[in-house]
Structure 1
Amino acid sequence: MSTAQEWEGSQRGRDAAEFARLADGNARQARKRVSADALVRDENGRILLVDPTYKPDWDLPGGMAEANEPPRDALRRELKEELDLDLPVGELLCVDWVSPHGPWDDLLAFVFDGGTLPADRAHALHPCDPELAAVRFCAPNEAARLLRPYVWRRAQAALTALERGVASYLQDGHV
């Protein structure tokens, strides 16, 4: 049973005024932006990076969740739209709270295990969306040079989570 179904069942017999009061309270609460990225590797352990056309640095594949979209579903959608990649999204590796910066409000960035692609699939990857200029697999030292420092820290935390089997919580890429 979904949370929505459970909630609906608990509200039977309650009046409309109480519902309106709760809805008003909900409308006044802060909203968070949410992104979902994948740590995808090739058979040599290199990390998949994408080059977005709308910002200057490389990034992990993924993107922003839409309103009321679970992060894992957002990641599946983004991978399909941008890379025509249909992956079973694995375990959560880390969550990073990113503080407000520039014109952006704060953000919760989820990184999931995207698994290891066989060589034929890795070589066939290409951008399928004008939002991406290129894709490439990089050794960690090359990824460290291409990614923004806080994104690289997030990728490092995800790699560590893969090794240890424990997800981590970060703030601006720091444990």
Structure 2
Amino acid sequence: MTYVAVACRALVFGVFLCSLISKLRGPVAYSSFVASAGELLGRPRRGVAAAAAGTVIAEAAVTVLVVIPATAPTGLALAAALLAAFSVAVVLAMRRGQRSPCRCFGASETPLGVPHVVRNLLLVVVCLVGLVATTATTDGSRHPAGIAVALTVAAAVLPFILRLDDLVALFRPTYHPGNTRRK
């Protein structure tokens, strides 16, 4: 269980760190995130600014909490709650017909949709598995090779999560003029 906990914590750390960096890499990135959040939430600008700032603070808290063994359960629980809230917000926006671009990891132009909800819910499962594995782990002994494998697994999965929009686009049927069938 120790290595499962390490892999889950590392993956959650990577996801939230990349998300945080993409929002804070400059004023334009942060403004784009706030605007996207406003479209997603369908609220006036002033309430959105507070929600966006709260999101950034919560993401920063997750990145710190999951690294420290004593606070890892709290960090994983917070991450699961945030991801669930993000999923609900995306579903509600989709029901309203709002398809603002995903600003989860930067300046994507891909509209939020089902793949983003699925990704978030899978990450909730990762958080919950990590939470169970972290709280069930009582033995403090860890082999360096086991830690290395767990971190490698997390590092190998992370790019697939970060580049979800590109992966979905690879498998999305495309329309070609003059062809009545979708490929």
Give me the TM-score of the superposition, normalised by structure 2: 0.24
More strand by share: 1
Report which structure shows greater RCO (CA 8 Å, sep ≥6).
2
More helix by share: 2
